Amino acid sequence: MTECRFDRRAFLGGAAGLGALALFGSGCSPRSQSARPMDEQAEPRIDSVVWGHCSPNCYGRCALRLSVSDGQVVRVESDSTGDDAYGSHQIRACLRGRSIRQVLNHPDRLSYPMKRVGERGEGKFERISWEEAISIIAENYRRILAEYGPASVFITNATGVQSKNINPFLGRFLNLNGGYLINDGGYSAHQTKTALPYLYGKRAGNSSSDVVNSKLVVMFGDNFAENKLGGAGDTFHLQRALEKGGAKVIVIDPRFSPTAAVHADEWIPIRPGTDAALVEGIAYVLITENLIDRPFLETYTIGYDEGSLPAGAPANKSYRQHILGEGPDGTPKTPAWASAITNVPEATIVSLAHQIAEAKPCCIMQGLGPQRQGNGEQTTRAICMLAILTGNVGIKGGNTGSIFGSYNLPGISVPQGKNPIKAKLPTFMYAEAVLRGRELTKKNAGIKGVDRLQQPIKFIWNYGGNSLTNQHGDINRTKRILKDTSLCEFIVVWDIMMTDSATYADILLPDLMPVEQPNFVAGEYNGDMGYLILGQPAGEPRFERKTLYQSLCLLAEEMGCLDEFSEGLDEEGWLRRVYTEAAEKNDYPTYDTLKGQGVYRRLNPKGSTVAFDKFRKDPQANPLETPSGKIEIYSERLAQIAATWELDPGDVIDPLPIYAPAVGGWTGEPDERYPLQMVGFHERGHAHSSFVQVETLRQANQPGFWINPADAAPRGIATGDDVLVSSPSGTLRISAKVTNRVMPGVTAMGQGMWFKADENGIDVGGCANTLTSHHPSPLAKAIPANTLQVQVRKAL
């Protein structure tokens, strides 16, 4: 066996020579005959055209039509079916999905099973056989099950593969062997998913297409024009609805995003983490000028005023009293008060309040950026108060204040069986569970299902995800935890590339992409059009790559549970079974029909999705899923949690949706060490950390560090200069972009770039999580990625 360190330069012709070629396969150079781009050849013969979908989690699952010649994909097109009418549009892929051939044929794709031979994270592996890989995995899995039990086994959060018939196989396999510690919440929206049920009973919103009925749309921190590009996302559909309905759009964001540039009639820059303070300033105007919808508040809510407070609530604890300064803090939340915190001019706050009150109906919505803060659970509930105060909940053209909803077809998934382990661990707490698992409890770590963890995490399965390190907060600390093999004792990674997370594998297995295997997806976040995509393998597998299911079948055979795991079915058999069962229940086309047509659409038979419309029409007959059945502005459940949970100083769980400055964020006091705030954003050239490896996308979407001229000038920074950006968690080097598109005192950079440390430990790959904190939000225990203070200086 040849030992080699992963080194792209060596593979492309350096001294490592045969070692690197042995690692990846001698035919995988972009200039080799087998991987030569087929569009450079004259008129390739098309043997077949198959359907598939773009799989990373960008809140869209777009259709792909792949032309295959001699077992390889030679052309990528997208959805061309239907008439592309409003409401039933084509599910066209964006620039990312259309570049998928460059991922399929990338010279650095993993091709063989590998075993770690250096320290974890060092990137040293040797090629081994599948037989040896399976044997090593099974041996360590049996050992850890015997010593620590299945509660020490964990599947990490992953966004690289989103497919209803691929991902569930791993849970199915583990459940046949005693189960595993459940991963709860994810990274994207955990705070809003956790917090809004305390307000509404569940998180829900009107569909994006419903803005055709709106007079005004106010967006807090949503950048759909950049992160939901394809036909399966909101961008195109929402734009058509805005054009058709003519609503005015106001975007509130620290950054003049593409959404603000393309769609907004008005952009209001705001200091990061202070959205809730802006809401309170607006609420003061609405209340003192009698612009609220009092009948709505009296009928549908509890906790707005002292007369509707629950019996057990303290005196002077209503929302109205808090806003007017009659509550415990004694501070009126005037526009002047809010302006000092948010940096939004007082006159703008007053104007915004009047516009929201006068627009009938008004759609208040928020993206996921505002809740991705310390104390973000407070923020996400606070934004919803604007919809509640003005009575815009449960009506056409209004909204709940949450992210847009959609009409989705019932999902189709491989059955995973029963997991005997009841414990659920918040996703962002996984590294803490590795480090100090038995210390984590319901009250200090948000554990669900049990009072405390019985074991630390000892075995990690990581499929199709770069969240083990790259997409996790405080990447340097996370790396130190994972590097210690006495903590987590074994890590298995499946991936297509040597990501930063993959370097922490003990066994690294080469995966096939969803378009290279039978695949199925049900659309999400697509307005009022639900859809299904049934895909077939495009091309023949190369080298020794296997699907997740194939490798798990090998493991199941080694573990003695193959018959139960596979039930005698191959992947196509599973896909046909689960789809046929769902088709019979939901009146879908037959399997063979959909296999031929690729895409199936169904419009919402009720028209636009309007969240809580039945509740609005008859609250007695259709109560919400809250204890009172009403909108709980004051939550007794949160009051109980606040009184009993163990919270760090500065962490706030309040029964009212009030503003609370975040730990590690702006507090009004100058910080000479880290004087600038920073926020992250999603760039159109990649989805999370997927597609980062595509050179043409990087060239078209050059990453950079956004800084306002007022902050750049005293530091001698010009556009194109390399800068060093530091936080308490680490330092990275990146090219500067000096621009007025970010407000003074605030900086910004795209997230998802792959971490790469130089000899001094400085990240030169541009990974935003080099800077972010590991301190979780108080209620959801979620990532506070946008609560960040940094220092910036010009690199020498």
Q: Is 375 part of a structural domain of the chain?
A: yes
Domain membership of residue 725 as a residue range: 676-794
Task: State whether residue 524 is helix, strand or coil.
Answer: coil
Q: What is the DSSP string of 219-288?
A: EES--HHHHS-STTSHHHHHHHHHHHH--EEEEE-SB--HHHHHH-SEEE---TT-HHHHHHHHHHHHHH
Same domain, 634 and 734: no
C-alpha 614/C-alpha 621 separation (Å) is: 8
Same domain, 377 and 236: yes
Quickly count: other Cβ atoms within 10 Å of residue 456's Cβ.
22
- pLDDT tens-digit map of 707-744: 999 999 999 999 999 999 999 999 999 999 999 999 99
Residues paired with 182 in a beta bridge: 424
Share of the chain above pLDDT 90, in %: 78
- Provide the CATH number for the domain around residue 758: 2.40.40.20
C-alpha 756/C-alpha 775 separation (Å) is: 23
Q: Is it the case that residue 20 has pLDDT exceeding 80? A: no
Q: Is 59 part of a structural domain of the chain?
A: no
Predicted pLDDT of residue 228: 79
Surface-to-core class of residue 4, CB atoms within 10 Å of its CB (0-12 exposed, 13-18 middle, 19+ buried):
buried
- Provide the CATH number for the domain around residue 314: 3.40.228.10
Q: What is the number of domains present in the chain?
A: 2
Measured in whole angstroms, the distance separating CA 668 from the mean position of its chain's CA atoms is: 30
Predicted pLDDT of residue 164: 61
Using CA atoms, how far residue 513 sits from 22, 53, 61, 468, 605, in Å, is 21, 10, 14, 19, 35
- pLDDT tens-digit map of 525-565: 678 888 999 999 998 999 999 999 999 999 999 999 999 99
Same domain, 640 and 694: no
Same domain, 208 and 343: yes
The answer to whether the beta carbons of residues 124 and 16 sit under 8 Å apart is: no
Tokens representing residue 763 in the block: 């990240």
Q: Is it the case that residue 323 has pLDDT exceeding 90? A: yes
Same domain, 637 and 713: no
Same domain, 636 and 762: no
When pLDDT is averaged across residues 378-393 and rounded to a whole number, the result is 98
C-alpha 260/C-alpha 237 separation (Å) is: 16
Amino acid letter for position 658: I
The answer to whether the beta carbons of residues 414 and 168 sit under 8 Å apart is: yes
Same domain, 708 and 768: yes
DSSP label at residue 496: S
The answer to whether the beta carbons of residues 368 and 188 sit under 8 Å apart is: yes
When pLDDT is averaged across residues 581-609 and rounded to a whole number, the result is 92
Quickly count: other Cβ atoms within 10 Å of residue 43's Cβ.
6
The answer to whether the beta carbons of residues 665 and 339 sit under 8 Å apart is: no
- pLDDT tens-digit map of 204-242: 999 998 999 999 999 999 888 887 788 777 777 788 889
Q: Which residues contact 616 (CB under 8 A, 6 or more apart)?
A: 300, 393, 394, 395
Q: Is 565 part of a structural domain of the chain?
A: no
DSSP label at residue 125: E
Which helix H or strand E contains 453, and what residues bound it? none
pTM above 0.85, yes or no: yes
C-alpha 449/C-alpha 424 separation (Å) is: 6
Share of the chain above pLDDT 70, in %: 94
C-alpha 610/C-alpha 210 separation (Å) is: 8
C-alpha 59/C-alpha 154 separation (Å) is: 25
C-alpha 259/C-alpha 225 separation (Å) is: 5
C-alpha 454/C-alpha 436 separation (Å) is: 11
Predicted pLDDT of residue 160: 66
